[in-house]
Amino acid sequence: MRKNVDNKSAYLMLIPTIVLLITFVYIPLSMALFRSFFESTPEGTQFLGFQTFIQTITNEYFMKSIWTVLKLSITITLTQLVISFLFANALVKVNKKLSVISRTLIYLPNLISGIVVAVIFTLLTTFNGGIINSLLESIGGSPIAFNNDYFWSPLSIIIPTIWIGFGYFSLVMYAGIINIPKTYFEAAEVDGASFLQKMFYITIPMMKNYFILLVVTMIVVNLQMFEIPMIMTNGQPANTTLTPVLYLIHSRSNGNISDTEITTAAILIMIIIIIINSSIFYLFKNKKGRKWEM
């Protein structure tokens, strides 16, 4: 009897979530899928089939933007994971008061919107009058076109993106590390394990789920980035920093593509995100975090 009551309570608590998902996720997604296969004309609704998908996939600029954002995402994800993990390990070692202050300070950038972050870094990197170039000129150096150079432009996107998420990812890493039972490390120390052995055989395996969470989060966010690229480089030089969302914004404002093509492109971006994240879950689903072994 008690079990039936608990089941009913659980189902009742799930109803608001299910209603919200259906209303704001599944219904709009269904409408977007329908719109990608059909086009409204003055004569009525015309069935296009996969024509729009083929047209979008064969679009040189869109596919180039996909490749660009994949390269940026891989670089940002790997760099963010490494530096956040190392910083989290450092936070664990410092005293409690300094740790609290450090955690507060590093999290502050996460409270700033991407547009504000881009404006801040633009003030640093602008060719004429930027703080960095002004310093370079003051010591006799030449200004650098950070936001319009084949080498520097990607870095102009990567660095602010890492900076804005560094605090959040470091705190998640920190939470994962302090939740590892201390007995594992004590046993490893008794057996004479070094710092690196404890890291590779205890810390990293035990934090597998945290790594998966962060990688999935970063992929979802980075594949949809547009504020920082839009303000920092605007896709330049020669569209080498053009991301898919930024491409769609430019194309829509210029009237180069229809609403059906925009919807189709958005669905393709979603499919890419699903494929990548599904692959990550598949690769790690059978791997269990394990303790340190001799």
The confidence band for 166, taking pLDDT boundaries of 50, 70 and 90, is very high
Residue 294 included in any domain = no
Q: Could you tell me the two tokens for 188?
A: 């490893």
Q: How many domains does the chain have?
A: 2
pLDDT tens readout for residues 36-65: 887 766 666 777 778 888 888 888 888 999
In Å, how far are 88, 166, 283, 285 from 212, measured between CA atoms?
Answer: 16, 16, 10, 10
Q: Quick one: 29 and 65 in the same domain?
A: no
Which of these, 118, 104, 198, 124, lies nearest to 161 by C-alpha position?
118
Q: Quick one: 118 and 257 in the same domain?
A: yes
Residue 289 included in any domain = no
Report the helix count and the strand count for the chain, using DSSP H and E. 15, 2
- Largest Cα separation within the chain, whole Å, is 83
Q: What is the pLDDT of residue 17?
A: 86
Q: Quick one: 35 and 174 in the same domain?
A: no
pLDDT tens readout for residues 199-248: 888 888 888 888 988 998 888 888 889 889 999 998 888 888 999 999 88
User: In terms of residue numbers, what domain contains 238?
Assistant: 60-284
- Please indicate, yes or no, whether the overall pTM of this predicted structure exceeds 0.75: yes
Q: How many CA atoms lie within 13 A of 286 on its CB side?
A: 3
Q: What is the pLDDT of residue 252?
A: 81
The residue-averaged pLDDT of 248-257 equals 81
The residue-averaged pLDDT of 96-105 equals 84
Q: Quick one: 1 and 75 in the same domain?
A: no
Q: Quick one: 152 and 116 in the same domain?
A: yes
Q: Who contacts 14 (Cβ-Cβ below 8 Å, separation ≥6)?
A: none
The residue-averaged pLDDT of 97-117 equals 86
Q: Quick one: 121 and 266 in the same domain?
A: yes
Q: Quick one: 39 and 115 in the same domain?
A: no
Residue 292 included in any domain = no
Alpha-carbon span 56 to 68, nearest angstrom: 16
Residue 293 included in any domain = no
Q: What is the pLDDT of residue 290?
A: 45
Minimum mean pLDDT among 3-7, 30-34, 89-93: which range?
Answer: 3-7
The confidence band for 286, taking pLDDT boundaries of 50, 70 and 90, is low
Q: Quick one: 236 and 126 in the same domain?
A: yes
Identify the residue with better confidence: 35 or 157: 157
Which of these, 85, 76, 75, lies nearest to 211 by C-alpha position?
85
Alpha-carbon span 28 to 50, nearest angstrom: 20
Q: Quick one: 7 and 138 in the same domain?
A: no
Q: Quick one: 238 and 266 in the same domain?
A: yes
Q: Quick one: 126 and 198 in the same domain?
A: yes
Q: Quick one: 23 and 116 in the same domain?
A: no
Q: What is the pLDDT of residue 114?
A: 86
| Relative orientation angle of helices 208-222 and 60-93, to the nearest 10 degrees | 140
Identify the residue with better confidence: 289 or 1: 1
Question: Average per-residue pLDDT in the chain?
Answer: 85
